[in-house]
C-alpha cells in the first residue's frame, strides 16, 4: 500500500549538497558550458516519411568518438499512419499537440573532477575554481543508462573510477582523524 505523503521520510537537508547543486546549476549557464557543447556538436538532416527535411543534432563523445543525442528537448509525436503530429486525448493535454521528451545521452564533463579524488574536498574556494573552469577544462562525454555496443557510457566509467579513488582518499583522511562527512562542511 502506498504511504501517505506525511509518513514519507524527507531526505535530510545537507547544506553542502544544496550549495553544490546550486553552483552546478549556475555553471550550466556559463558561456564555457554552451561552448563545450557547440564544439562537440555536429548536425545533419534526415528525410521524414512526409518528405520534410528534419534537422538532427548529435554530439561526438570525447571518450569513444561515437555520436549521441543531446539536450533534453521535446520532439513532436508523429502518427505513423498519417505522418502528422498527434494530439492529446485526455486530461489537460486534450486536443493539444503531443511532444515526447528526448532524454539527453551526453554530459558536459569536467576533465579534472570538481572534487579532486586524490585530495578529497578541500574547501568551497577550491571547489568553485575547479567547477568554473574554462572551456578547455570541459569535454562532452556519452552518458546513458545501461550498456550499448557492449559497453557502459564513458561518463559512467569515468565517474565510477573517480569515486573509487575518492573513496580511498576519504578512507585515508578518516584514518588520519579528519572529518570527511558532508554535514561538517
Binding site for Zn ion (CB under 5 A): 61, 63-64, 142, 154
Q: Minimum Å distance from CB 139 to Zn ion?
A: 10
Report d(CA 179, CA 112) in Å as an integer.
Answer: 23
Q: Toward Zn ion, which CB reaches closer, 70 or 120? A: 70
Q: Toward Zn ion, which CB reaches closer, 20 or 158? A: 158
Report d(CA 17, CA 99) in Å as an integer.
Answer: 33
Report d(CA 82, CA 95) in Å as an integer.
Answer: 17
Q: Minimum Å distance from CB 155 to Zn ion?
A: 7
Residue 104 CB partners (closer than 8 Å, separation 6+) = 69, 70, 71, 72, 143
3-state secondary structure of 21: helix
Report d(CA 150, CA 64) in Å as an integer.
Answer: 13
Q: Minimum Å distance from CB 59 to Zn ion?
A: 10
Q: Minimum Å distance from CB 34 to Zn ion?
A: 20
| Maximum separation of any 2 CA atoms in the chain, in Å | 68
Amino acid at each position: 500500500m502506498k504511504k501517505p505523503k506525511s509518513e514519507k521520510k524527507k531526505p535530510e537537508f545537507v547544506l553542502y549538497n544544496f550549495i553544490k547543486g546550486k553552483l552546478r546549476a549556475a555553471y550550466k549557464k556559463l558561456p564555457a558550458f554552451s561552448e563545450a557543447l557547440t564544439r562537440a556538436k555536429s548536425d545533419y538532416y534526415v528525410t521524414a516519411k512526409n518528405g520534410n527535411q528534419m534537422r538532427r543534432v548529435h554530439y561526438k563523445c570525447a571518450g569513444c568518438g561515437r555520436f549521441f543525442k543531446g539536450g533534453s528537448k521535446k520532439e513532436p509525436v508523429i502518427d505513423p499512419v498519417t505522418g502528422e503530429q498527434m494530439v492529446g486525448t485526455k486530461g489537460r493535454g486534450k486536443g493539444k499537440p503531443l511532444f515526447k521528451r528526448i532524454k539527453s545521452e551526453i554530459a558536459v564533463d569536467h576533465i579534472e573532477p570538481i572534487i579532486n579524488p586524490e585530495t578529497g574536498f578541500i574547501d568551497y574556494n577550491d571547489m568553485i575554481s575547479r567547477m568554473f573552469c574554462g572551456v578547455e577544462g570541459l569535454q562532452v562525454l556519452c552518458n546513458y543508462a545501461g550498456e550499448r555496443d557492449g559497453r557502459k557510457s564513458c561518463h559512467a566509467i569515468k565517474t565510477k573510477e573517480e569515486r573509487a579513488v575518492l573513496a580511498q582518499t576519504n578512507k585515508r583522511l578518516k584514518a588520519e582523524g579528519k572529518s570527511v562527512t558532508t554535514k561538517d562542511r
